[in-house]
Amino acid sequence: MTADARPSAIPTHGEARQMDGRAPFVIVMNAGSGRKQGETTAALIANAFGKANREYELMLVHDPSQLAATAQRAVELAQARNGAVVGAGGDGTLCAVAQAVIGSGCAFGVLPCGTFNYFSRDHGIPADPAQAVDLLLTARAHPVQVGFVNDRMFLVNASLGLYPKMLEHREIYKRQFGRSRLVALWSAMAMLLRRHRHLRLHVDHEGTMQEIRTSTLFVANNRLQLEQVGAAEAPLLAQGLLVALAPRAIGRIAQIVLSLRGALSRMSDADNVIGFAFRRFTVTHPSKRRRRVKIAMDGEVTHMQMPLEFRVGDTPLYLLKPEADVAAQNRS
C-alpha cells in the first residue's frame, strides 16, 4: 500500500461550543432503521427529557424519500428556537440529517439505531440508547470533519464500483434474512464470488493525473472503519485529510483473499491496494464523457454525473459528543 505526499496546511475548525442548558431539541427519527427500535428510543427520550425539564419535538419519518425534507424543517425549527437537531437512525439517516444541519449554526446530536453505527462509534457516542439520550443533555458541541462528493456530504465513506453493488445486494439479503452484521458479511462474500467488471478511472490528485483499473474506489472519513481493515493511512484522518483506497485489477480469488486480509485487519500488508491521503481529488472517465455512475455514501446508493470531486468539507459539523478522553474509552 502506498501513500502520496501529505499537505502541510491542515485547517483548524475552532473550539467546542457549550450548549445552552435550556436549548430545545428537534429529533428526526427514521422509523425503519436498525431493528425498528423507534418506540423504545422514543420512550427513553420522553423519560430523560421529562426528568430534565427539557423541551423537544420528535419528527418520525416512515418514508425514506421524505427524510431530507423533514431534516430541513427540523433545522428551520431549531434555528427559530436556538435549539439543536438530532438524528436517530443508522449512518445513512445521520448523513441525511447532518447534510441539512451543517452550516446552519445548529449543534447536531446522534442517537445510533443502525446496524453498524460507524459514525457514532468513531466519536465515542454510546451504543446504549439510554446513555446516548443522557449524553445529549450534557455534551458540548465539538467540530468534526465531513467529506463531500461534488455537493453531497458523507460522514463515514463514499465509493463507486463494486462496493455500491455490494450494498444493494446486502439490502436484498436483509429483506430476506433480517438486519445483522452476519447477514451483511454473508451477502458480501456471495457478491465477491460473482464476476464483475473493473473500472477505468483517471484520478487527478495534486496536479498529477493517474489512470487506475480497480473494482472499487473507496473514500473513507472514519478512523474506526479504516483500523478494522488494517489500513495504514487511518491516523491521517486526524490531520484534516480523507483516505482513498482502490484495489488493483485482480481476479475473483485474489479479490476474496484481499477481502479476508481486510477482515483480519491486515490490509496494510497487501501489495494489491493503492492508498493515499488527500484534501481534494477529481475522478473522470478516460473518455471524458459526463457519464452517470452509481455511488454509495454512508450506505445509501444513488447516481451522480462524472467528473466526481472528492474533498474535505470546508465547514465542520458541530457534534454533541463526549470529551476526548471519554470518547476514547467508549470506542469499540
What pLDDT, on a 0 to 100 scale, did the predictor assign at position 329? Answer: 65
Signed CA dihedral, 282, 287, 292, 293: sign only: negative
Strand partners, 312: 147
* pLDDT for residue 249 is more than 90: no
Q: Which spans in the chain are helix H?
A: 38-51, 67-80, 91-101, 118-122, 129-138, 162-177, 181-192, 223-229, 252-263, 324-330
Q: Residues with Cβ < 8 Å from 321, sequence gap 6 or more?
A: 110, 123, 124, 125, 135, 139, 142, 144, 327
Choosing among 3.30.43.10, 3.90.120.10, 2.60.120.620, 3.40.50.10330, the CATH entry for 25-146+315-330 is 3.40.50.10330
* pLDDT for residue 80 is more than 60: yes
Is the bond into 307 cis (omega within 30 degrees of 0)?
A: yes
What pLDDT, on a 0 to 100 scale, did the predictor assign at position 125? Answer: 97
Q: Do residues 128 and 325 make contact, with C-beta atoms less than 8 angstroms apart?
A: no
Strand partners, 310: 149, 281
**Rounded CA separation 141/296 (Å):** 28
- Report if pTM > 0.85: no
**Rounded CA separation 165/161 (Å):** 7
Q: How many CB atoms lie within 10 A of CB 33?
A: 27
What pLDDT, on a 0 to 100 scale, did the predictor assign at position 207? Answer: 83
**Higher confidence at residue 318 or residue 265?**
318
- Nearest Cα to Cα of residue 274 among 23, 32, 1, 76: 1
What pLDDT, on a 0 to 100 scale, did the predictor assign at position 124? Answer: 96
Instruction: Tell me what the mean pLDDT of segment 109-118 comes to.
Output: 91
Extract the C-alpha cell encoding 255.
Answer: 479479490
What pLDDT, on a 0 to 100 scale, did the predictor assign at position 216? Answer: 86
- Nearest Cα to Cα of residue 221 among 246, 244, 204, 203: 244
DSSP state letters, 214-266:
ESEEEEE--HHHHHHHT-TTGGGGGGT-EEEEEEBS--HHHHHHHHHHHHTT-
For 161, counting Cβ atoms within 10 Å of its Cβ (0-12 exposed, 13-18 middle, 19+ buried), the class is buried
The CATH number of domain 156-312 is 2.60.200.40: yes
**What residue segments make up the domains of the chain, in order of their start?**
25-146+315-330, 156-312
What pLDDT, on a 0 to 100 scale, did the predictor assign at position 5? Answer: 37
* DSSP SS3 for 286: coil
Task: Return the exposure string of 1-15: e unless at least 16 CB atoms fall within 10 Å of the residue's CB, then b.
Answer: beebeeeeeeeeeee
Please tell me what DSSP assigns to residue 67.
Answer: H
Phi, psi of 216 (to 5 degrees): -160, 145
* pLDDT tier for residue 32 given thresholds of 50, 70 and 90: confident
Q: How many CB atoms lie within 10 A of CB 261?
A: 18
What pLDDT, on a 0 to 100 scale, did the predictor assign at position 255? Answer: 52
Instruction: Tell me what the mean pLDDT of segment 97-115 comes to.
Output: 95
Strand partners, 159: 218, 296
Q: Considering only 177-191, 192-206, 213-227, which range has the smallest mean pLDDT?
A: 177-191
What pLDDT, on a 0 to 100 scale, did the predictor assign at position 121? Answer: 96
Q: Is 312 left (phi over 0), alpha (psi -120 to 50) or beta?
A: beta
pLDDT tens digits, residue range 5-15? 343 333 446 78
